Amino acid sequence: MSASPTIPSLFDPVRLGAIVAPNRVFMAPLTRCRAGEGHVPGPLNAEYYRQRASAGLIVSEATSVSPRGFGYPNTPGIFTPAQAAGWRLVTDAVHAAGGRIALQLWHVGRISHPSFQPHGETPVAPTAVAPRGKVFTGTEMADYVTPRALEPGEIPGVIAEYVHGARLAKEAGFDGVEIHNANGYLLDQFLRDGTNHRTDAYGGSVQNRARLTLEVTEAVAGVWGADRVGIRLSPGGVFNDMRDSNPLETFGHVLRELDRMHLAYAHVTRVTAQDIAHGATSGVGPKELRPYYRGNLVSAGGFDRPQAEQALAEGWADAIAFGVPFLANPDLPERLRRNAPLNTPDEGTFYASGPKGYTDYPALAA
């Protein structure tokens, strides 16, 4: 009789393609709005990430690949040499502390405002459908505008922006990249039928709606090698006014196609109670989508330690990404290992400026 498979612990190593993570407590991407002038990271950002280098893998905050890709104040970019040099401060600090870090490549699409766009232009999207809600411009809350639908001839240029960002991320010393295909931003807007009403090769069928996701992933893998590329998906999420008529079919198709690429990992968020309160469909998450993807599956979405261990034991996640707990607890893996108390996050400083609520959370006493 064969031996029973060993159930992995949160504190066991895991291989993600070419990246070996020493534990399965990952740091989720967290927008913090603390980049400097020109969307350039600086020493404060380097210290923030250095403090959290004990994560199995840090996934950086979402980082725009394009001047048109911004929708929040003071978020970083990865399309200029100065931005790459700023990120090099971060990767050097993380590596000196023994950590690993991937850059999340981002374009917000319609979740923007002319005040963020070059020359006050209209934000772009797959279709001219305005999101409900308001955007903080840096000075006021404003209604989202109706975006401009990208012309078919513009789409190769969008893919080229992701490629350029991937190349600069490599120059900046990252260990890999994660493609942000979640939370209602540009690639997610193309993927879901609630926001993609196109009638060309990038709209209509699920195969067409998934086309941009797969083309960007293949192009980025051409820069890094697929074994250093991850992708984030939010199949049940409703953030940024998102919806899809058949998320199991849509995301099942995408994950089947991604499975053939042998990526480092797919990062699939689960539906939380907060999502359901805002109209999300329960039951469409990593557990339901696991049959479509045989590679490493990372999950996120309000996990505590028992829930994380249950996901690993049941086999529908290979690692768990923690967001707010990592924000407030720079030594989160050790705190979870010891079942130690967690610091209380200061929500008023999540998107503020300066070190308060950023680099001043204490670690456990030695």
pLDDT for residue 1 is more than 70: no
Sequence letter at residue 290:
R
Catalytic residue among 185, 202, 293, 358: 185
Q: Find the DSSP H helices in 176-290.
A: 186-191, 206-209, 211-224, 247-259, 273-277, 286-289
Q: Which two tokens stand for residue 300?
A: 């996120």
Give the tens place of pLDDT for each residue, 188-234.
Answer: 999 999 999 999 999 999 999 999 999 999 999 999 999 999 999 99
Over residues 132-158, the mean pLDDT reads 95
pLDDT in tens, 334-359: 999 999 999 999 999 999 999 999 99
Residue 3 pLDDT:
47
Q: Which fold has domain 14-349?
A: TIM Barrel (3.20.20)
Judge whether residue 151 has pLDDT over 70: yes
Choose among 336, 317, 8, 15: nearest CA to 175: 15
pLDDT in tens, 63-97: 999 999 999 999 999 999 999 999 999 999 999 99
d(C-alpha 179, C-alpha 102), whole Å: 10
* Angle CA 274–280–281, to nearest 5: 125
pLDDT tens figures, 268-294? 999 887 788 777 877 899 999 999 999
Q: Give the dihedral of Cα atoms 17, 23, 24, 30; nearest 10 deg.
A: -90
Judged on CB neighbours under 10 Å (0-12, 13-18, 19+), 210 is buried
Which residue type is seen at 36?
A: G
Tokens of 63: 């980082």
Average pLDDT value for residue range 145-155: 98
Cα separation, 264 vs 176, whole angstroms: 9
The yes-or-no verdict on residue 44 having pLDDT over 80 is yes
DSSP letter string over 124-193?
EESSS-PPSSEEE-SSSEEEPPPPEEPPGGGHHHHHHHHHHHHHHHHHTT-SEEEEE--TTSHHHHHHST
Check if 185 is active-site: yes
Domain ranges of the chain: 14-349
The pLDDT of 151-167, averaged and rounded, is 98
Please say if the pLDDT value at position 4 is more than 70: no
